[in-house]
Amino acid sequence: MDLPTVWFVAIAVLWTGYFVLEGFDFGVGMLLPVLGRGDDPAHRESDRRVVINAIGPVWDGNEVWLITAVGAMFAAFPAWYAATLSGFYLPLLLVILALIGRGVAFEYRGKVDDPRWRARWDVAIVTGSVVPAFIWGVVFANIVRGVELGPDGVVTSSLVDLLNPYALLGGITTVTLFVLHGAVFLALKTDGPVRHRSRAVARRAGPVALVALAGFLLWTADQHGVPVIPAAVSVAALLAAFVLVLRRREGWSFAATAVAVAAFTAAIFGSLFPVVLPSLVDPAFDLTVASAASAPYTLGVLSWIGAVFLPLVIAYQAWSYWVFRRRVTRAHVA
C-alpha cells in the first residue's frame, strides 16, 4: 500500500481503539443512575462510587485515542481534518464541552459530602457520556452519507442537514451499542448488587442494540455500500455477546462487544475508502485519500514517529488495565 492508504488504515485503527475503549466508559457513565440506585441512600452512594471507580483508573487514558486520532488526521490528511472539523463545528463543540464537563465531574463529585452536590455532578457525568456517544454516531453517519462540500473544500451543510434520519439512526446505534458495552464491562469489573444490575441491563439492552446495529448497517449497505465481512462480524459478535450475557460469561461477552464495536467501526471506514468525505454537491468535489493527503515526506516522517511511539502507548495502556484488573465492590469504597 502507498503511504496515504497506510495512514487511512492507521487512522481507522485509532478511531477503532477509541470507540472500543471509550465506548464502554461512555456506557458506564450513561448507566450511573440506573445501576447506582436503591432505597438506602448509603447503599445508593456506595453503588454509584463502585460504578465510577470501575472506570476511574482508565477513562482519561481512553481519551488519548481521540487526541491521537484527530492529531493523525491533522498531520496526514489536513484537507480532511479542516473540512470535517469546520463542517461539524457545532456538534464537535458540544462533544468537547461534554467531555470537559464529564472530566470535571469525575474529579469534583467527591469533594463535598452533600447529596445535592453529588447529584449535580452525576447529571454532568450522564450528560457528558450521552452527548458524545450520540454525536459521534451522527458525525460518522454523515461522513459516510456525504455533506454539501464545494470545490473550495468548504462544507456548507447546516445543523438541520446533519440531523437527517440516517444520521439520527447512527447516533441511536452508537448510544445503544455503548450502553450494552458498558453494562457488560461493569458485569465483568464489579461484584455485588452493581454486577447483578449490570447483567439485567445487558439482557435488556442487547436486543435493542442488535436491532439498531443491524438496521443501520443494512441502510448503509443499501444506500452507500458497506464491506460485508466486518458488517457481518459486527452483528454476529453482538448476537454472541447477548447469548454469553444470558450464560453469565462476562469475560467472553465483553470480548464479543469489543469485537462488535471494532467491526462496526471497520465497516464505517471500509464503506468510505478511497473517499474520506463525499460531496453531495458533485462527486467531483469528493475528498479522497489521495487528494486530501499530506506530502510524501510528511507521511514518511509520521510513519517513523508512529512506529516508535504507538507500541509504547499501547503497551502502557495494556499494563494499566492489567494493574487495575480486579473487581470493584462496596467494600473497596466503604
| Domain range summary for the chain, segments of one domain joined by + | 3-333
pLDDT at position 241 is: 95
CB-count exposure of residue 257 (10 Å: 0-12, 13-18, 19+): buried
C-alpha cell, 298: 510528511
pLDDT of res. 1: 67
pTM score over 0.85? yes
CA 334, CA 323: separation in Å to the nearest integer?
21
One digit per residue, the tens of pLDDT, for the chain of length 334 reads 689 999 999 999 999 999 999 999 999 999 999 988 766 777 788 889 999 999 988 888 888 899 999 999 999 999 999 999 889 999 999 999 999 999 999 999 988 888 899 999 999 999 999 999 999 999 999 999 999 998 888 898 888 999 999 999 999 999 999 999 999 999 999 988 899 999 999 999 999 999 999 999 999 999 988 999 999 999 999 999 999 999 989 999 999 999 999 999 999 999 999 999 999 999 999 999 999 999 999 999 999 988 888 888 888 888 888 888 888 887 777 5
- Please say whether the beta carbons of 227 and 267 come within 8 A: yes
Q: Are 329 and 191 contacting, i.e. CB atoms less than 8 angstroms apart?
A: yes
Could you tell me how far CA 139 lies from the centroid of its own chain? 12
pLDDT of residue 312: 86
Q: Can you give the pLDDT at residue 334?
A: 59
122 vs 56, 109, 201, CA distance in Å? 14, 8, 19
CA angle 44/50/56 to nearest 5° reads 135
Tell me the residue type at 277.
L
User: Do 181 and 24 contact (CB within 8 A), yes or no?
Assistant: yes
The pLDDT value given to residue 39? 66
- C-alpha angle 284-13-179 in degrees, rounded to nearest 5: 105
Give the integer Cα–Cα distance in Å for 107 and 202.
Answer: 28
- Environment class of 61 (CB within 10 Å of its CB; exposed 0-12, middle 13-18, buried 19+): middle
Res 36: pLDDT: 81
In the chain, the DSSP E strands lie at 275-277, 287-288
